Amino acid sequence: MTTVPASTAPVPRPAEILARAREIFDPLLRESVETLPEPLRHMAGYHLGWWDAGGDPTHTGSGKQLRPALAVCACVACGAPPATAAPVAAAVELIHNFTLVHDDLMDRDGSRRGRPTVWAVWGPADAILLGDALHALAVRVLATKLPPAQVFPAIERIETTVVELCRGQHADCSIDRRRPTVAECERIAMGKTGALLGCACALGGLSAGAPPAVVTALDRFGRELGLAFQFVDDLIGIWGDPAVTGKPADDLARRKRSLPVVAALRSGTSAALELLELYRSDEPLSAAEIAHATTLIEAAGGKRWTERQADRHVRAALRALPDRLAVADLTTLAHLVAHRDS
């Protein structure tokens, strides 16, 4: 592996980094999806924003695609050409979307990126099958597109990550039935979000031929960044603008115990006690109750605490990056995570 010193060139804007990375992995992503039998191919393209339910092309997009971009940037940081990361980046994006399809069903979310989710259009059974198919595609991409020496370690890492994702999701599914601690919520966030961002960065390093110590450091960077991502995501779930996020900010309506809520409930304040009374209801919160809960969370310090934690994990992520790697793009993406609004 060749390491390169940090560049003194101007730092690219996040949109430029994401667009360049998309040019690397998107052709392989589309090639892989095209191998699916119908109707799975059609459902996958719909979920990825390539066409609508009737098959007409759309421009809704596939989200920021941060995870594959991190894989590409980690590969480049280790001195390899961007194209080297195409297989691992495509695989990470397939894994991410497999989890989204299943998560939407488990959470009964009817909207994603401004339109109905897969299960809402085709039903639960087809959504489960599509998620399984995307998972299988990810493994096949790694098995057929990587150099032979990288196939086993890449598949082992990504499948270990899937198990970690499942463990985190399982814990998250039961969290609203008890009173979790902040530490427990952070462990769930590491499993649900940090694990895959860490995997993306580690696979980028692995594809570049980086030594184990560098791969481990990149994994740590991604995991810390993933925690920051989840903290910001939970802020957006309460205070986000649906016109920007493409989905309703309904975490409070569902009485979800997200990180700002748990921090507020554990604050020992009078606002925390009042919030707890609201959360004891079995019914979705009304619009007036949501507005009141939002005020209580802020009064109990939940919002400010979550913002500080997001910043703390971004700083921890940046400290994890090895010296002498070309980390400008990774640094830019880290700051994007901390300041995103969707």
Please give the Cα distance from 43 to 39 (Å, whole number).
6
- Is residue 285 included in any domain, yes or no? no
- Render each residue's pLDDT in the chain as its tens digit; 342 residues: 333 334 445 556 999 999 999 999 999 999 999 999 999 999 999 999 999 999 999 987 778 999 999 999 999 999 999 999 999 999 999 999 999 999 999 989 999 988 999 999 999 999 999 999 999 999 999 999 999 999 999 999 999 999 999 999 999 888 877 788 999 999 999 999 999 999 999 999 999 999 999 999 999 999 999 999 999 999 999 998 877 776 666 789 888 899 999 999 999 999 999 999 999 888 888 999 999 999 999 999 999 999 999 999 999 999 999 987 889 999 999 999 988 877
- Is residue 172 included in any domain, yes or no? yes
Asked whether 313 and 228 are in contact (CB, 8 A), the reply is yes
- Is residue 34 included in any domain, yes or no? yes
Please give the Cα distance from 321 to 150 (Å, whole number).
22
Q: How many CA atoms lie within 13 A of 215 on its CB side?
A: 17
Longest dimension (CA), the chain: 60
pLDDT of residue 11: 58
- Is residue 85 included in any domain, yes or no? yes
> What are the angstrom distances between the C-alpha of 118 and each of 110, 156, 179, 330?
8, 29, 31, 32
- Is residue 266 included in any domain, yes or no? no
- Is residue 60 included in any domain, yes or no? yes
Region of 102 on the Ramachandran plot (φ > 0 left; ψ -120 to 50 alpha; else beta): alpha
Q: What is the CATH number of the domain that holds 179?
A: 1.10.600.10
SS3 content of the chain, % helix, strand, coil (to 5): 70, 0, 25
- Is residue 59 included in any domain, yes or no? yes
199-219 in b/e form (b: 16+ CB < 10 A) is: bbbbbbbbbbbbeeebbbbbb
Give me the DSSP letters along 89-118: HHHHHHHHHHHHHHHHHHHT--EETTEE-H
Going by the DSSP 8-state scheme, the letter that residue 49 receives in this structure is T
Q: What's the token pair of residue 104?
A: 């939407």
pLDDT of residue 246: 63
Total number of domains constituting the chain: 1
Q: What's the token pair of residue 65?
A: 């695609």
- Is residue 45 included in any domain, yes or no? yes
Range of the domain at 121: 14-233+324-339
